[in-house]
Amino acid sequence: MESHSEFLRRATLDEALAAALRRDYRQADLSAADRAMLDFAVRLTTQPTRMTADDVGRLRAAGFDDRAVLQITLIAAWFNYINRVADALGVGKS
């Protein structure tokens, strides 16, 4: 998570946003769409077998179209994948 927030800080140059997301995205000053996107990504990360059409429906209700839903899903899934590869290989561990 630390590396992701550092990437966000560098990409956006918004230290306050990166810090707020690092603490707890649910308490950060985000748009409804950004919060829905992060809720979806967290659920996909922590409860992937419990994902339902309602999860996608919440993204659609927040204004995301089919392409955006696919992009959100692919990016979240890729980060989950690459983190697991890094964990398995001990990347970043002494």
How does pLDDT run across 6-60, given as a tens digit for each residue?
A: 666 566 667 788 788 788 889 888 999 999 999 999 999 999 999 999 999 999 9
pLDDT value for 24: 87
Domain coverage including residue 83: 31-94
Residues 40 and 61 in one domain: yes
Mean pLDDT of the region 78-85: 91
Of residues 20 and 76, the one with the higher pLDDT is: 76
pTM: 0.81
Q: Round to whole Å and give the CA distance between 39 and 88.
A: 26
Q: Which residue has the tokens 């996107």?
A: 37
Instruction: For residue 30, give the nearest of 48, 16, 9, 11 by alpha carbon.
Output: 16
pLDDT value for 66: 97
Residues 63 and 88 in one domain: yes
Residues 13 and 45 in one domain: no
Mean pLDDT of the region 67-75: 97
Residues 93 and 47 in one domain: yes
Q: Which CATH number is 63's domain given?
A: 1.20.1290.10
Residues 47 and 80 in one domain: yes
Quote helix, strand, coil % in the chain, to nearest 5.
80, 0, 20
